[in-house]
């Protein structure tokens, strides 16, 4: 039976091993340092070797993105605002409530009033027996001229003493083709004296 004998490495062997390790390590460092600047391009990079953790914030800009590379599926919901969309690309929203009324504008210039002419007509009304309660009556009509508008009217008597029983029974407009062209009045007299009942019409030109 053979007995195993332990042999301690000699100092020369130790020195040779250390020298071999140093030589191999120096070759690796030299190989890394031997890569020329800008000599590694896209073909030398393994697929999926560069992830977001290797990219500096703000390093990727619009010109570096391929056309249509960013789609709706890659955009975080609610991450875009109205300023991020082109004008007219968003549908208009519903109309808002009406705002408060603005301040009143300045007053316009004063208008001008056209000429007003007084047209009149009269009729004699007998007085009968004074103050017996029986009135004599008569009617008179007054029209404006062509191109004028009747805007108002009034009545009067030629004898207007305080003790005379005279009154206006009616005063009505004369309408032709839905336009007031004059007025018709009826007066009653119980004064015992004949008097003229007068109708005055204001005729407006304008």
Q: Delimit the domains of the chain by residue range.
A: 116-204
φ and ψ at residue 31, rounded to 5 degrees: -65, -40
pTM exceeds 0.75: no
Query: Residues 16-23: what's their mean pLDDT?
Result: 67
Three-class HEC string of 78-141: CCCCHHHCCCCCCCCCCCCCCCCCCCCCCCCCCCCCCCEEEEEEEEEECCCCCCCCCCEEEEEE
Share of the chain above pLDDT 90, in %: 40
Q: What is the pLDDT of residues 115-132, one digit of tens each?
A: 899 999 999 999 888 889
pLDDT at 31 over 60: no
Q: What is the pLDDT of residues 52-87, one digit of tens each?
A: 777 777 777 767 777 777 777 777 777 777 777 778
**Banded model confidence at residue 9, pLDDT cuts 50, 70, 90:** low
Query: Residues 14-29: what's their mean pLDDT?
Result: 62
Place of tokens 């009154």: 167
CATH code of domain 116-204: 2.60.40
């Amino acid at each position: 039976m053979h007995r195993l004998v332990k042999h301690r490495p000699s100092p020369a062997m130790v020195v040779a091993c250390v020298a071999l390790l140093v030589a191999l390590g120096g070759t690796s460092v030299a190989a890394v340092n031997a890569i020329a600047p800008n000599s590694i391009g896209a073909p030398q990079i393994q697929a999926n070797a560069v992830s977001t953790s290797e990219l500096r914030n703000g390093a990727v800009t619009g010109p570096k993105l391929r056309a249509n590379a960013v789609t709706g599926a890659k955009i975080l919901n609610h991450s875009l605002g109205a300023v991020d969309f082109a004008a007219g690309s968003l549908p208009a929203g519903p109309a808002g409530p009406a705002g408060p009324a603005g301040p009143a504008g300045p007053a316009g210039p004063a208008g001008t009033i056209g000429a007003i002419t007084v047209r009149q007509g009269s009729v004699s009304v007998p007085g009968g027996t004074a103050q017996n309660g029986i009135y004599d009556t008569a009617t008179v009509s007054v029209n404006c001229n062509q191109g004028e508008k009747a805007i108002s009217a009034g009545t009067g008597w030629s004898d207007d003493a305080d003790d005379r029983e005279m009154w206006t029974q009616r005063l009505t407009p004369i309408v032709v083709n839905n336009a007031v062209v004059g007025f018709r009045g009826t007066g009653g007299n119980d004064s015992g004296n004949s008097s003229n009942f007068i109708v005055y019409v204001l005729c407006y030109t304008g």
